[in-house]
């Protein structure tokens, strides 16, 4: 890994790295916050919260805007933020729109050309990145996962498809039923093709009925979110969770929108949710 930058933050360290990914066949960048206990004279390996960001974001949005480091430092929790897609591959159409291609990997494994060789963000997040982080940094294999919007969708499917891999899962304003919204349909058609039966394995709402592990879901959603009715559809997720007795705590917050002002307002609740599952609180 190439260290790009490092900043002292609440007596821990915020670092940015670049590495060559075999999964996406290109260079990837990611950020990590290491709490004080992991960077002292006698560093202690700590558990990790993986944060998946939304459309157009990079690893930097969460680290600079969410305000998570202060409590993470106190809890002894590392945070790892990958990018939202491969970058700079010069694929046709890669940079034509905000909701497909660069910045919009959707945390799935593409099967359609020219995306299939590179847009494998699911395998990258679930397998390659954790293996790299756990081998190179003072962290354990105790993991939790969270995210926002497209990243909330990513966090939910990663947890639902991998029983035992994560201790806990949460999401802010996730794209909860992507097969039924414009963002999801555009991405799935482009990355997976026209056969909609292949889309179903990447939709959290459709994965709930057959989930082999039922981690409690913490989902926060603002009522003033401009994408609530057209793209996010948390009610569909809540309804199927109720039907199949999958615990969900869907919290609707009056007046909050889709921005990082919303995330910063409730991020501590999510950190504490994960800390309890990881044995830190």
**Catalytic residue list contains 53:** no
Of the candidates 21, 37, 85, 149, the residue annotated as catalytic is 149
**Catalytic residue list contains 225:** yes
Of the candidates 203, 225, 273, 274, the residue annotated as catalytic is 225
d(CA 96, CA 121) in angstroms, rounded, equals 19
Of the candidates 258, 270, 273, 274, the residue annotated as catalytic is 258
Helix/strand/coil (H, E, C) string of the chain? CEEEEEEEECCEEEEEEEEEECCCCEEEEEEEEECHHHCCCCCCCEEEEEEECCCCCCCHHHHHHCCCHHHHHHHCCEEEEECCCCCCCCCCCCCCECCEECCECCCCECCCCCCCCCCEHHHHHHHHHHHHHHHHCCEEEEEEEEEECHHHHHHHHHHHHCCCCCCCEEEECCCCCHHHCHHHHHHHHHHHCCCHHHCHHHCHHHHHHHCCCCCCEEEEEECCCCCHHHHHCHHHHHHHHHHCCCCEEEEEECCCCCCHHHHHHHHHHHHHHHHHHCCCC
Active site residues: 149, 225, 258
């Amino acid at each position: 890994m190439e260290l790009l930058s490092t900043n002292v933050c609440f007596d821990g360290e915020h670092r940015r790295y670049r590495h060559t990914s075999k999964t996406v066949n290109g260079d990837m960048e990611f950020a990590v916050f290491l709490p004080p206990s992991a960077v002292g004279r006698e560093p202690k390996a700590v558990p990790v919260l993986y944060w998946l960001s939304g459309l157009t974001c990079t690893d930097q949005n969460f680290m600079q805007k969410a305000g998570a480091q202060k409590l993470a430092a106190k809890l002894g929790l590392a945070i790892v933020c990958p990018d939202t897609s491969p970058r700079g591959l010069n694929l046709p159409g890669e940079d034509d729109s905000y909701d497909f291609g660069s910045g919009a990997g959707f945390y799935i494994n593409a099967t359609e050309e020219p995306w299939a060789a590179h847009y494998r963000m699911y395998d990258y997040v679930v397998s390659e990145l954790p293996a790299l982080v756990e081998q190179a940094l003072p962290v354990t294999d105790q993991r939790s996962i969270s995210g926002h919007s497209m990243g909330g969708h990513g966090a939910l499917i990663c947890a639902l498809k991998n029983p035992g891999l994560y201790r806990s899962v949460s999401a802010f304003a996730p794209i909860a039923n992507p097969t039924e919204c414009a963002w999801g349909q555009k991405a799935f058609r482009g990355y997976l093709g026209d056969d909609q039966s292949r889309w179903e394995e990447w939709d959290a709402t459709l994965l709930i009925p057959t989930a082999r592990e039922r981690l409690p879901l913490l989902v926060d959603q603002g009522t003033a979110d401009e994408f609530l009715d057209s793209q996010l559809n948390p009610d569909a997720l809540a309804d199927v969770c109720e039907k199949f007795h999958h615990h969900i705590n869907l919290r609707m917050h009056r007046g909050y929108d889709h921005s990082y002002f919303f995330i910063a307002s409730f991020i501590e609740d999510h950190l504490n949710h994960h800390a309890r599952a990881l044995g830190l609180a």
